[in-house]
Amino acid sequence: MRLLGTASLRMLAIGSEQRDFARGDLLFTAGDAADAGFIVQRGAFRIEDGNGAEIVAGPGTLIGELALVVAMPRPSTATALEYSSVVRVSRSLFQRVLESDPVAARRLRDEFANRTSQIASDILMAGAKLSS
């Protein structure tokens, strides 16, 4: 979220909602319709993709960021590992913020493009190592 300016962050903070989770509660499940991203405020969530890959997301981590820009089913399941809280940012709010801050929208677009290029590069390198 560092890509957004102070005014945009303020709009997101005002329009977002906090949610609390007990250990073992699901934040979302693979296949759910994704209409929001979540910023972990406290605690931690295990995110599993169903294929054996998993990460732990702690405070300050944005989870489900693609849902902020595109409607899609959730590709993973997120489970609270302890008492945790998140800030839920809806796609509609996020898009209104970007419409009001074109500079932030360009920075975000560039960041997504960089991440996509890095992922493509990582896949190509992994493929090259597998075929050697």
Q: Considering the domain boundaries, does residue 43 fall inside one?
A: yes
The pLDDT-based confidence of 121 (bands split at 50, 70, 90) is low
Distance CA(90)–CA(6), nearest Å, equals 18
Total number of domains in the chain: 1
Per-residue pLDDT at 4 exceeds 80:
no
0.75 exceeded by pTM: no
Q: Considering the domain boundaries, does residue 108 fall inside one?
A: no
* Beta strands 36-42 and 72-73, pairing class: unpaired
Q: Considering the domain boundaries, does residue 86 fall inside one?
A: yes
Q: Considering the domain boundaries, does residue 119 fall inside one?
A: no
Q: Considering the domain boundaries, does residue 130 fall inside one?
A: no
Q: Considering the domain boundaries, does residue 107 fall inside one?
A: no
Distance CA(89)–CA(78), nearest Å, equals 16
Distance CA(105)–CA(107), nearest Å, equals 5
The pLDDT-based confidence of 66 (bands split at 50, 70, 90) is confident
pLDDT at residue 43 in the model: 96
Per-residue pLDDT at 48 exceeds 50:
yes
Per-residue pLDDT at 75 exceeds 80:
yes
Per-residue pLDDT at 57 exceeds 80:
yes
As given in the structure block, the two tokens for residue 51 are 């294929």
86 and 40 Cβ atoms separated by less than 8 Å: yes
Per-residue pLDDT at 14 exceeds 80:
no
Range of the domain at 13: 6-101
Amino acid occupying residue 93 = L
CATH number at residue 53: 2.60.120.10
Percent of residues, the chain, with pLDDT higher than 70: 68
DSSP-assigned states of every residue in 35-94: -EEEEEEES-EEEE-SSS-EEEE-TT-EESGGGGTS-EE-SSEEEESSSEEEEEEEHHHH
